[in-house]
Amino acid sequence: MKHLKKFNENNLRKIDAVYISHCFADLIDENKASFRNILSNSVVIHVNYNNDDIEFTEKNNLLDYDNINWRNDRIKPTRDIEIAIYRLLDEYPKYEIDVIPLQDKRTTHYRIEIILDKNV
């Protein structure tokens, strides 16, 4: 039993990169998202859109979460990103999410870092 308990504790200390990839699967399939820097306690995802075919949400509801740090209030999330983050938080509500949206004339880029809760 000690071995099983230790195994479970170790798994709680590793970020679930497989589940995160399932949450962002639609964006990955459309070649809009890619994973970078997959570590045991964090994952970085880059999402890129052409400004011609981007649809932003009306209101950034992600600002209501304490564990989401949205770094640029002028750029709202897309519905795809919002859905992916909701899916992730439904399963792992203690993950911390840091989002840095950047925009130029042609593209909108989101750098999303998902961090394992330091208190786990």
Residue 9 has pLDDT above 60, yes or no: no
CA dist., res. 17 & res. 20, Å (int): 5
The CATH number of the domain where 11 resides is what?
Answer: 3.30.980
Q: Find out whether 112 and 47 touch, Cβ atoms under 8 Å.
A: yes
Decide if 18 is inside a domain: yes
Q: 48 has which bridge partners?
A: 109
> pLDDT band for position 88 (50/70/90)?
very high
User: Which residue's entry shows tokens 């820097």?
Assistant: 37
List all residues 6 or more positions away from 34 whose beta carbon is below 8 Å from its beta carbon.
28, 45, 46
Name the domain count of the chain: 1
Decide if 97 is inside a domain: yes
Average pLDDT over residues 23-31: 95
Decide if 10 is inside a domain: yes
pLDDT score recorded for residue 8: 45
Decide if 23 is inside a domain: yes
CA dist., res. 107 & res. 120, Å (int): 37
Average pLDDT over residues 65-84: 92
Decide if 120 is inside a domain: no
Decide if 65 is inside a domain: yes
Which range marks the domain in which residue 42 is found?
2-115
Decide if 86 is inside a domain: yes
Query: The whole model's pTM is what?
Result: 0.83
